[in-house]
Amino acid sequence: MIDSEVKKIANSSSEEPQVTREACGSFASEENVRFRPMSTADLDEVMVIERTSFRFPWSTGFFLQELQIACARSILAEVDNKIVGYVLFWLLPGMADVHNIAIHVDFRRRGIARLLLTRVLLAARQQSLTRVTLEVRKSNLPAQKLYESLGFVTSGLRKGYYSDDGEDALAMTLELAT
């Protein structure tokens, strides 16, 4: 039944196949996204993204603390001078640990998170680190797929990791080639 419907649609269509059509929407590239470190002056815009991205967002105070830690790093993504995403991570002996990543709801599914994570991997390689780790909610399948597409593998389960609701986290690790 389904095969005959597919054949009927294929035979009746005079349009070009989808593969030859232009993609819908726009996707991020290094040319149209600007990257820079986060500063305290950015926190109002960052908090809008944080609050719309997470059921239990970090507080402004938590971001302020994170920005004061010596090993902490941050990368903002901007499009047309508007902050559209960020990542916070720590550079530790031998490894980088991703603590928070979020993209503005209007800019999701455009590759910005991938670009931010690529910047994290570059920073880790520049420091000769051999591993990047992160935790992700067990229920956050889109994030897990993104991390897996970059080479991360599940390396453990952290029971009750999220103190706000007790959800488990998957620990994910990417071993960097030396």
The structural architecture, per CATH, of the domain 24-175 is 3-Layer(aba) Sandwich (3.40)
Q: What is the pLDDT of residues 16-67, one digit of tens each?
A: 333 333 334 445 555 689 999 999 999 999 999 999 999 889 999 999 999 9
Residues annotated as part of the active site: 135, 147
**Closest alpha carbon to 77 in 109, 121, 107, 122:** 107
CA distances in angstroms from 172 to 52, 91, 118, 141, listed in the order given:
24, 16, 16, 13
pTM higher than the cut 0.85: no
* pLDDT on residue 5: 33
Those residues whose C-beta lies under 8 Å from the C-beta of residue 141, and which sit 6 or more positions away, are none
For residue 11, name the pLDDT band (cuts at 50, 70, 90): very low
